[in-house]
Amino acid sequence: MSSLSTLHAKIGPSILNADLAKLGSECSRLIDAGADYLHLDVMDGHFVPPITFGHQMVESLRKTIPKNRCWFDMHMMVENPDKFVKDMSDAGADQFVFHYEATKDPQTTIRKIREAGMKVGIAVKPKTAVDVVFPYIEEVDLVLVMTVEPGAGGQKFMQDMMPKVQTLRRKFKELDIEVDGGVSPDTIHHCAEAGANLIVSGTAVVKSPDPKSVMDQLRQSVSSKIPIWQNL
């Protein structure tokens, strides 16, 4: 986990909201506009109803965008996440975020991801209590608090998820905390005040005619609150 002194606000556009027909150029556009990382949503049609894409697309995208240019944050909304680990690692994924609800043995899943050479994240759905991840905090790189029900873009931000973020920030001051779902310039202040520092934003960034200004605004909102988190 990162230390508080080096904890930074980072913005990861969700490419699910981009034009998938020209995904390579869309990702380059977002990186050039200042994206700190790219958030890739993988859905298997089982854990959540939609199906998006698999490791083949990640591999193809990685050929266009090398690791030294941008890192890929894989949000794995899949059942049995263990079976996806090797393929995603081989495809060039940098970070593998699995759902607590999708595995019977989080410890084993964490170990497999780490052994595959990727960073590890653990996510919780809105109806899951945040304390279920406490036993794994020392072994993961981040916790993702979903601020919508996983499975579809464009949903309304769930402000009532912010106590989860606050609890994590108060208890684990050095933890990278990610939020995903409905985050925009209109809702970012809730995330920033609660203590989230990794911000996933889809529609608000990707569909904006000026994604740079949107990402700058999101980043500044969070950065201004980082010193305050020490006193939470």
CATH number, residue 213: 3.20.20.70
What is the Cα–Cα distance from 205 to 210, expressed in whole angstroms? 8
Catalytic residue among 36, 87, 180, 186: 180
Q: How many domains does the chain have?
A: 1
Residues 6+ positions from 57 with CB-CB distance below 8 Å: 23
From the first residue on, what is the mean pLDDT of each consecutive set of 10 residues in the chain (232 residues)?
Answer: 67 91 94 98 93 94 95 97 98 98 98 98 98 98 96 84 97 96 97 98 95 98 90 65
Residue 41 appears among annotated catalytic residues: yes
Burial class (CB in 10 A: 0-12, 13-18, 19+), 184: middle
The position carrying tokens 């949000």 is 75
pLDDT of the residue at 1:
45
Catalytic residue among 41, 44, 141, 176: 41
pLDDT of the residue at 154:
67
- H or E element: which one contains 75? strand 72-77
* Strand ranges of the sheet holding 38-43, from the earlier edge strand across to the other edge: 10-13, 198-201, 176-180, 142-146, 119-124, 95-99, 72-77, 38-43
**Domain span at residue 182?**
4-229
β-bridge partners, 177: 143
Reference 149, options 101, 117, 92; nearest CA is 101
What is the Cα–Cα distance from 203 to 224, expressed in whole angstroms? 23
What is the Cα–Cα distance from 177 to 173, expressed in whole angstroms? 10
Indicate the pTM of the whole model: 0.95
The position carrying tokens 């500044």 is 220
